[in-house]
Chain A
Amino acid sequence: MSIMGTRVVRVEDPVFLTRGATYTDDLTDERLSGALHLTLVRSPIAHATITSIDVEAAREAPGVVAVLTGADIDLPAPLLFGGAPKQMVRPWLATERVRFVGEPVAAVLTEERYQGPDAAELVDVDYEPLPAVVDVREALKDENLLFPDAGTNTCSVYNKEDPDPDFFADCEVVVTREIINQRVAAASLETRAASAVWGDDGRCTLFVSNQNAQGARDEVAGWLGVDASQIHVILPDVGGGFGAKIGADPEFALVAWLARHTGRPVRWSESRSENMTGMVQGRDQRQTITIGGSRDGRVKAYRLDVIADAGAYPRLGVFLPVFTRMMAPGTYDIEKVDSRATVVVTNTTSTAAYRGAGRPEATSAIERAMDLFAAEIGMDPAEVRKINVVAPEKFPFTTKGGVEYDSGEYAKAIDLALEASDYATLREVQKARRERGDAKQIGIGVSSYVEITGGGAFVENASVEVHADGTALVWTGTSPHGQGHATAWAMLASEQLGIPVEKITVRHGDTDHVPEGGGTMGSRSLQTGGVAVHQASLELIDLAKQRAAEILEASVEDLEVDTTNAAIVVRGAPGSPTVTFAQLAEREELKVKTVWDGKKATFPFGSHVAVVEVDTETGKVTVERIWAVDDAGPVLNPLLCEGQRHGGIAQGIAQAMLEEVVFDPDGQPLTATFADYGFPSAAELPSFDLVTMETPTPINPLGFKGIGEAGTIGSAPAVQSAVVDALAHLGIRHIDMPTTPLRVWEAIQDAVKEDG
């Protein structure tokens, strides 16, 4: 019986639920014995010149081994994103100017960890405050420059062509609106951490919390100016990343440099307060959407103008508008699509990937545009979507964003969601409440989405080895941090080899064992790493057959796998001699290493329907129900898949109604603790209604697409739309995320005033 598509319980969990995980900060690895502890002195001011740094008192504090400033570090300051102006480098420790609250200014090394914060308080830094640039429109003016040498705050412009003034000329109806896709914090429960030790062989062993060991190795090596082979990155258990742990943080290289400089191992783990200002944040786009079409519901032209906030030092966030532009038209077959994006630096935390990374921004924009268009022409928003989605017979479909969608049935996904939610009845309930004038109104939101998974990183490595005791070992270049790859990859190998899942060990995150790998990000793992394990298993069978042919005295073509016994047998010859994989491994190492190249991205899609209740007297939004169709092709393990969808939907709802990183006009973060930052608990979320739909991709033999980010991308616009819909009878057409009670209440007050 096939194991594919079955609910195999996570093999990871017994350890996590009993002994607990071993995160970087928990390591008791003896290579780290005698380690110094790094405490970073961080800027309390968003924008200032540093007039002096006095570290003498700190050097005298108990347990202090060294206190360093930027002047002590002999490495060139790195440019954290290659495409940004070369002046926008981030100093290892700021010496002349600080550009965001939380920027490292001095490094304190102590014998014991608790001594660090006391000594750090004694570092005396004089700051001469400069005007802070917090708003992207202010940044665009170039009046206050973060990097005077660069001569501008703009770090990237995508599409420099002037917009065509006649773009919407043939449209009966045109609607335009500025909307905000707010900044959010990944807030992974494990904060950032790194530990480094240099061996007598001149190599550095670097333990970090990250989503990609190989990428982190290459970046750190580059920054330190050493060959990548000199850095051995090991990832212990990783407590969540959500995109923010893609790529190395400069702190990692600093830890490695300090370990080399002092000749002792160095450990670093940040506090939650440091994490909420120091770790990269996500989203943060100011968008202007313009949509045009005819009153029969047909959309003809769509324009998306983006100003994105890179934060103080350009990182991956500078690139993400590329994804936003690619996915601008969403699921819709629109004749004319135009987009442009400008990315600026501000005196805030740097931005980078966050679950969806550029695609949710595109989806939220086009979905708001569809709602605005529907409202303008007085048509049901679900109907408008169905009129405009790409028809199933058009796949593979090349969009006006220049992207080839592999497979999809978008209207069917919308229909499934509408049917599951009994949409018509919901509208009747809504109508009745409006007629009664209830204080608590309901709103219904529909989203249709498509996204890119495995974008840009199509290649992945895997090795499978069977041992003489009948167990198997899988090494993967992907890098799970909660997703369940140990279970899923074991299922893929088990399916082909017949070795039970419990006898298969999956390992990852060690660059000496897997020198090449793309890590886990962009919902890429199953369609690249999983397919690589599948391919490696097939190649291992080929190798086993060649060896078995001799033993069994049969030709390779006549051999097949008996998955009940994990053996090679002669086809159609019951009772004839067989040889197990274990027996073959006893004679000679039985191992293959393979590289899978999918060559293309895949495009999962779906549709969500959300119902919210809005208390019009207080502005409070409660998500009552959400029905989600998330089609990422065939499902390997429904339990894991549902887990990804649940987490994703929760994160999307959170962006829609709760989460926002806020800075005051001076660049001071107002949401740097979990008391202030609104991430949700189960109590704020409904149970999720998941609807099944599986459309395979032709890109890989198993038809898999990625599911990691889909839920987030579908749920945020559905919930936001539902909130607006609940208040549509007051003339409200849009409320920015997060739809907090305050913001919703103020929108109602404004609407009532205008009406009055």
Chain B
Amino acid sequence: MIPVGFEYARPDSVDGALALLAEHGDDATIMAGGHSLLPVMKLRLAAPELIVDIGRLRELNYIRVDGDEVAIGAGTRHHDVEVSDVLAAEVPLLPAVARTVGDPQVRHRGTLGGSLAHGDPASDLPAAVLALDATIVLRSPRGERTVPATEFWTGVFTTAKEPDELIVEIRVPRTGSAGWAYEKFTRRANDWAIVAVAVVDGRVGLVNMGSTPLRASATEAALAEGRSIADAAALAGEGTEPPTDTAGTPEYRRNLARVLTRRALETAAGR
């Protein structure tokens, strides 16, 4: 439970963080809330040489309406997402999902950008961001670029982010009154989801149904064709390769995806 020794830097600006990343490349690991990174370091599954702590960069902590979107700073804590009036009005799915992450301690430390960058397919927020058709803003000394959420996750714990890049912002379309729901299935309240389903405006994001967060595209297509919720939900497991562990088999997870998708679509339709 004692990690391998490491260097620690706490730059006082995003530019300072980027400079450190540029200098140290793969040897540097960004830490925001630390609630994903520190446990794996303590288990000695990760041994970064340099930790760049961006957890106190206030310039990354904001939620504001910007045209058709809500711009969220990457360093915004889950708790701040959870209690945001702006998000409650403009993107109500996101606070609802944030509320299911871990426990209050985790939610006061963990950040939206950190969750997306970590890329755990069992995490809640990536699938929600995916269902929201959000855009991820990355910055490096080379400049800024945006990546659609649909292209951000490339494999288990891997993303389109380059080593010298930092997620600085997440841009989420304002969904307003569009129906939404989040169905998270766990054994215990603060567990990772065995499977979860985020629904908003006819789009469906799946948690823990493969190596990355996924969209249930067959379900979305069926809904677009005007088929019933029951029929569309029955397709939620199509094209997925869910993992096997002590909590579930692929067959069981596909069942959960179908059931939870149906329930989420029903809830969304009622909103």
Contacts and interface: CB of A to CB of B under 8 A. Distances in A.
A262 interface: no
Interface footprint category on B: 20 to 34
A10 B227 CA distance: 62
Interface in B188-224: 188-192, 194
Interface string B176-193: 000000000101111110
Contact of A273 (B1, B5, B188): B1
A745 B255 contact: yes
A680 interface: yes
A742 B188 contact: no
A676 B43 CA distance: 14
A741 B246 CA distance: 11
A270 to B, nearest CB: 9
B234 to A, nearest CB: 12
B256 interface: yes
Contacts of B187: 658, 678, 740-741
A745 B44 CA distance: 36
Contact of A117 (B44, B185, B190, B259): B44
A113 interface: yes
A681 B246 CA distance: 19
A575 to B, nearest CB: 63
A671 interface: yes
Nearest to B5: A118
B188 A114 contact: no
B8 interface: no
B255 A684 contact: no
B157 interface: no
B43 A273 contact: yes
B188 A620 contact: no
Contact of A671 (B185, B188, B246): B246
B247 A740 contact: yes
A271 B1 contact: yes
A17 interface: no
A272 interface: yes
Contacts of A424: none
Contacts of B246: 660, 662, 670-671, 676
Contacts of A617: 255, 259
A118 B47 CA distance: 12
Nearest to B192: A675
A683 B2 contact: no
Nearest to A660: B246
Contacts of B245: 670
Contacts of A683: 188-190
A681 B5 contact: no
Contacts, number: 58
A114 B2 contact: yes
Contact of A681 (B43, B189, B255, B259): B189
Contact of B4 (A118, A618, A746): A118
Residue from A271, A660, A675, A742 whose CB has the most chain B CB atoms within 10 Å: A742
B16 interface: no
A123 to B, nearest CB: 14
Contacts of B25: none
B188 A680 contact: yes
A742 B249 contact: yes
Interface in A631-665: 658, 660, 662
Interface string B3-43: 01100000000000000000000000000000000000001
A671 B249 CA distance: 16
A658 B194 CA distance: 14
A202 B190 CA distance: 51
A620 B260 CA distance: 12
B248 interface: yes
B5 A658 contact: no
A741 B191 CA distance: 14
B2 A681 contact: no
B4, B188, B259: which has the most chain A beta carbons within 10 Å?
Answer: B188
B110 to A, nearest CB: 15
Nearest to A39: B2
A676 B245 CA distance: 10
B185 A620 contact: yes
Interface in A102-121: 113-114, 116-118, 121
Contacts of A658: 187-188
A231 B42 CA distance: 35
A658 B191 CA distance: 12
Contacts of A681: 188-190
Interface string A618-638: 111000000000000000000
A586 to B, nearest CB: 53
B188 A117 contact: no
Nearest to B259: A617
A271 B43 CA distance: 10
B1 A618 contact: no
Interface of B: 1-2, 4-5, 43-44, 185, 187-192, 194, 245-249, 252, 255-256, 259-260
19 contacts: A113-B2, A117-B2, A117-B44, A273-B43, A617-B259, A618-B185, A658-B188, A660-B246, A670-B245, A673-B43, A678-B188, A683-B190, A684-B189, A740-B187, A741-B185, A741-B247, A741-B248, A741-B252, A742-B252
Given A658-B187, A683-B190, A745-B252, 16 more contacts: A116-B2, A117-B2, A117-B44, A272-B1, A617-B255, A617-B259, A618-B256, A619-B252, A670-B245, A675-B191, A681-B189, A683-B189, A740-B247, A742-B248, A742-B249, A745-B255
